[in-house]
Amino acid sequence: MTIKSLRRKIHTNLWRFTTSEIFYYTALSVIGLLLLFLIVLTKSKTAASIDTEPMLLVYTILVTTFELSRLIAAMFYSNTVHIHKMHPDLKAQTHNYEPLVSFVVPCYNEGPAIEKTITKCFDADYPKEKLEVIVINDGSTDNTREVLYRLQKTKFPELVIIDFKKNQGKRHGMAEGFAAAKGEIVVQLDSDSYIVPETFRELIEPFRNPEIGAVCAHADPENADKNFLTKMQAAYYFLSFRVLKAAESSFFTVFCCSGCSSAYRKSVVMPIMQTWLHEKFLGLPVTWGDDRALTNWVLRRNFKTMYTDKATAFTICPENLRQLMKQQVRWKKGWFVNSLNASKFIYKKNPFVAFTYFFPLIFVTLSTPFMATKALIVNPLFYGTSPLFYVLGVFLVSSLIVTFYRAVSRENKYWPYVFAWSAINMVLLSFVLFYALFTIQNRKWGTR
C-alpha cells in the first residue's frame, strides 16, 4: 500500500465520522490515556515498596496487564467478522446460506414466559420451511404443559413438544432436543430468552465457514430497567459479551457460548452428546455450566467458536440479590469445573490462547479473593494500612474499561453501573467463588 493510498484511505475514513463523533472519540482516547497514566501512577506506589514486598509488585503488574490485555484483544474483534467470510471454500459461494435450523428450548415451570419465547422463534427472519422449534417440557409442575399444547393447537401446529413426565434436568432436555432436531444448525435457547427475529440470520451466517462449530449471540437483559440490580447486570452483560467474549472471539476461542442464545453445528456436537450428558465431577453428575461444557467439547474437537454482536438476544436477569447470588454461585461452579476440564486439553489444542489468556485467567480469578481479603480486611485491621490504593486501582481499571465500553457503544446507557458492579464484585462476588467451591457437591439445579 502506498503512502498516497493510505492517506486517501484515512481521508475517506475520517469523512465517515461526524464532527461530534470525532470529538467524542478523541475525548475518549484522551481519557483512556489519562487513565492508563493514573493506573501506572498507582502501580508506582507499589513499586516504591519493592524492597519489602517484591511479590506484590509482580502480582499487581501481572493482574493489571492481564485485565488490560482483554481490552487489547477486544480491539481486534472487528476482524472476526471478516475472517470467517474469507475461507477459500466460500469464495465461490455467493448464494444465500440458509441451512435447516432447529431451535431447542428446554423449559421447566415457565408457564408465563414460554409463549413469548416460542412466538419469537417462529417470527425469526428466516424461511419458515427451514425452521423447526422443539420445546422440551422437563416435567413442569405448573401450567407449562397446557400452554405448550394450546400453542401447538391454536398458533403453531409445527411446534414439536417433547414432554418429560418427570424432571430430569436441563442437560437431559437439551440432549433429547438435539437428538430430535433435524436441522444442520441447532439454536439452543433458554426458556426465558429470545433472539430478536430481525437479527436471527446473523447468528446462522458464520456457519458458512465449516471451521466454525458454535456461535454465541449478544445477550442483554430484557428487564434491565427494573431496578438498580438489573441495571448493574445490564452493564455487566454488555461488558462480558461485547468486551470479554469479543476478546475471546478475536482468537475464535469463546469458552462459553451462553445458554441463553447460542447456535451449534449439529454434526459437531452429536458425537459427544452422550459423553457430555453423563459428565461427572467428583463422582456426581454436573448440573450447572451445561453451556460452558458443551462449548468446551466444540473446542476440544478442534472447531472454532465465536461471538457475534450482530445477533441480539434478550433474557431475564435476577431481580433481587438472593437470586443473583444463587445464579452467581451456579456460574462460578460451572466456571470452575469446566475450567478444570478445559485445562486438560487447551494447552495442546490452542497453546497461544491457553498461555496468554486461559491460565492467567484462572490464576487471577483464584487469587483475587485472597488479595481482596488482604487489602480490604487484613491490612486495614491488623496493620492499619489504608485500602485506598487498592480501591483506587480497581476504580481506575474499571474506568478504563468503561472508556472502552463507551467507545464500542455510544448508545448503551448502563455504563455508569460498571462501577457499581465492580464495587460489588470487589466486596462480594469474588468471595462467592469460595462459597461455590465449598458447596460444589451440592448438585441441585438451583435455577432461579
Partner 1 sequence: MSIDTHISKIRYLFTLGVLLLSAVIVSGSFSFQGSGVLSAENLSREVSYYRYKAQFAGINQADENKDAVYTRSQSRTDVIPVLVYHGIVSKPDRFSMTSATFAEQMGALKKAGYHTISMENLEAFLSGKDTLPEKSFILTFDDGRKDSFYGADPVIHALDFTATMFTATGVSLPEKIEKKSTYYLNPQEIVRMHKTGRWDIESHAIQKEGGFITIDADGTKGNFLSNKMWLDDQGRLETNTEYEARVTKELYDSKTAIEKTLNKTVTAFSYPFGDFGQQSENLSNEYAEKVINKAVSDNYKVAFHQIWPVDHDFSQNHVGESPYLLKRIEPSPFWSGEELLGYINSGQPKKFPYSETFVNDQGWKNLWGELSVTENRLVTKAAPTTAGSVTFLDGTYNWKDYVVTSQIDWNSGSHVVLVARYQNADNYASCIISDDNARIEQIIDGTTTRLAEAKIDFVMPKQNVPLSFALRQNSAECFIGNKSLVKASGVSTKIANGGIAFKTWDSVRGIASVTVHSVSVNELTNKNTVASLLPQNEIVFTPLPTKPTKPTTKPTPEPKPPVIPVETVSEIALYSPNGAMRPYHVLNFRETSAWKNVWGTYSIEGPLLSVGATPNTTGGMTILKGTSTWGNYNFMARIESLSGTSFSLVARYTKNNNKESYASCSFMNYGNVSYVRLDQVTNDATMQIGSSIKLSRYFTSNWKDVPFSIRVIGNEVICTANGTDAIRATLSNLTTQGGIGVKTWSEAKGSSNVKIKEIEVTPLQ
Distance from C-alpha of 250 to C-alpha of 200, rounded to nearest angstrom: 21
Residue of the chain from 35, 39, 175, 273 that contacts partner 1 (CB under 8 A): 39
Q: Select from 24, 31, 34, 43 the one that contacts partner 1 (CB under 8 A).
A: 43
CA 432 distance to own-chain centroid: 19
**Footprint (CB under 8 A) of partner 1, residues 260-319:** 304
| Per-residue contact flags (x/-) with partner 1 for residues 49 to 88, judged by CB under 8 A | --xx----x---x--xx--xx--xx-xx--x---xx-xxx
DSSP structure class, residue 120: H
CB contact at 8 A, 184 and 269? no
Q: Does 250 bind partner 1 (CB under 8 A)?
A: yes
Give the span between the Cα atoms of 19 and 339, in whole angstroms: 46
Length of the chain: 448
> Cα torsion at 347, 353, 358, 359 (round to 10°)?
60
CB of 260 to partner 1, least distance (A): 25
Binding flag, residue 385, partner 1 (CB under 8 A):
yes
Cβ of residue 216: shortest distance to partner 1, in angstroms?
16
Assess 42 for contact with partner 1 (CB under 8 A): yes
Q: What minimum distance in Å lies between the beta carbon of 387 and partner 1?
A: 11
| Exposure string for 7-24, b = 16+ CB within 10 A, e = fewer | eeeeeeeeeeeeeeeeee
> Which window, 158-166, 186-194, 250-258, 323-331, contacts partner 1 (CB under 8 A)?
250-258
* Gap between the Cα atoms of 389 and 268, Å rounded: 48
Residue 313 three-state SS: strand
Look-up of cell digits 491488623: 382
Q: Which of 34, 47, 56, 179 binds partner 1 (CB under 8 A)?
A: 47
Report if residue 377 touches partner 1, rule: CB under 8 A.
no
Q: Which of 40, 321, 340, 427 binds partner 1 (CB under 8 A)?
A: 40
The position carrying cell 423449559 is: 107
Selected binder of partner 1 within 1, 4, 384, 411 (CB under 8 A): 384
Question: Which one, of 397, 394, 398, 400, lies nearest residue 376 by Cα?
Answer: 394
**Beta strand spans in 100-143 (E):** 101-107, 131-138
Query: Closer CB to partner 1, residue 10 or residue 41?
Result: 41
DSSP-derived pairing of the beta strands 194-195 and 304-315: antiparallel
Closer residue to partner 1, CB minimum distance, 50 or 437: 50
Candidates 32, 46, 372, 433: give the one binding partner 1 (CB under 8 A): 46
Binding site for partner 1 (CB under 8 A): 36-37, 39-48, 51-52, 57, 61, 64-65, 68-69, 72-73, 75-76, 79, 83-84, 86-88, 209, 211, 250-252, 304, 352, 356, 383-386
